[in-house]
Amino acid sequence: MLEFRTAGFNPYSTKYSPFTDNLLAVSAGANFGLVGNGRLYILNILPSGQIVCAQYFETQDCLFDTCWSEAHEAQLLTAGGDGSVKLFDINVPEFPIAQWPEHAREVFCVDWNLVSKDGFLSSSWDGTVKIYSPDRKESLLSLPTHSCVYSAMFSPHASDIVTAVGADSHMRVYDLRMQPSKDNHLALMIPVHGMGKGTRVTGGAENKGMVSVGPSECLTHDWNKYRDNIIATGSVDGVIRTFDIRQPGAGPVVAMAGHEYAVKKVGWSPHLSDVLLSASYDMTCRIWSDGSAITPTGAMTGPNRLGEIGRMDNHTEFTTGLDWCLFGAEGWCATCAWDEKVKIWDIREFMHR
């Protein structure tokens, strides 16, 4: 396990470069993001296994999220506590090369369009999701949700589909190809709570009582990279749920209980279609399988696994961010936590044998 310390700053998000396997970005804030400056770290992973800080950018407020540009290998975005989205270039020291100060409250999430690669979005406590082009000084579109939006992202399968989750315990699916209307491109609104008739709860009957049926703030979500209708969510109640957007009224497909506190981040593996990773306020990162390797008839198409299949508990504070490495072996990932630590590790060393 590799480790880097962000001394004096508490990380919120970490992202691998999509262009090279040895660059990692980390967004952080002083004093747990409550007050003080922010810092964007660019970390270099050396062939020797050492992690060094290649450079960093200072900001006047906490940075809650970051993502790399899909169009320019040297550029990346940040989500700021001052309501701004900033674009940095690692070849231009000290200052952002562009910024969009449009949100009225903290920005919690930024995401670049993986399909068209020509734009990005942000979501905020002010209850909006905004769509941008890096070539425009103002946002192209604002999608109101009337509730704090903790996580928003473009579908990795379709450039015009946007999803968002937040404080009102609902997942919204927007289709930007739809004609503007009073619903502002809203195509679906799915409750992120409750139980469907066919919902499987991992761990058996003993975990059914851990799955709340009432609304719970949803902090994170992610699209499955192989199954273009499957989305995983993580909520304050500590439960990870997967949904099939083809059946918006059916409830969760799987409810994975186990975390003792809120789930801050989830991410599907880019290598294995049934595996996802979670980071929680219970200071653990857990590896899960949604059981999709099991066919409806019970026939096995892959490993026999369902629910939690591994756990890493080396962080000593709230774990807040995670990302999978796109390169090399299938298990490498990075996580960060309020313990001022960024860790790079192989999930295969922590999976149940």
Note the pLDDT tens digit of each residue in 278-314. 999 999 999 999 998 754 444 434 455 789 999 999 9
What pLDDT shows up at residue 209? 57
Give the span between the Cα atoms of 157 and 337, in whole angstroms.
30
What pLDDT shows up at residue 322? 98
Per residue in 78-90, pLDDT tens? 999 999 999 999 9
What pLDDT shows up at residue 138? 96
Q: Which residues of the chain have pLDDT under 50?
A: 204-206, 295-302
What pLDDT shows up at residue 285? 98
Tokens, residue 279? 């980071």
What pLDDT shows up at residue 299? 42
What pLDDT shows up at residue 210? 63
What pLDDT shows up at residue 89? 97
Dihedral of the CA atoms 154, 156, 159, 163 (nearest 10)?
-30
| Angle made by CA atoms 156, 278, 112, in degrees to the nearest 5 | 30
Query: What does the radius of gyration of the chain's CA atoms come to, in whole angstroms?
Result: 19
What pLDDT shows up at residue 305? 78
Per residue in 323-342, pLDDT tens? 999 998 889 999 999 999 99
DSSP category for residue 22:
T
Give the span between the Cα atoms of 308 and 288, in whole angstroms.
4
CB neighbours of residue 180 within 10 Å: 9
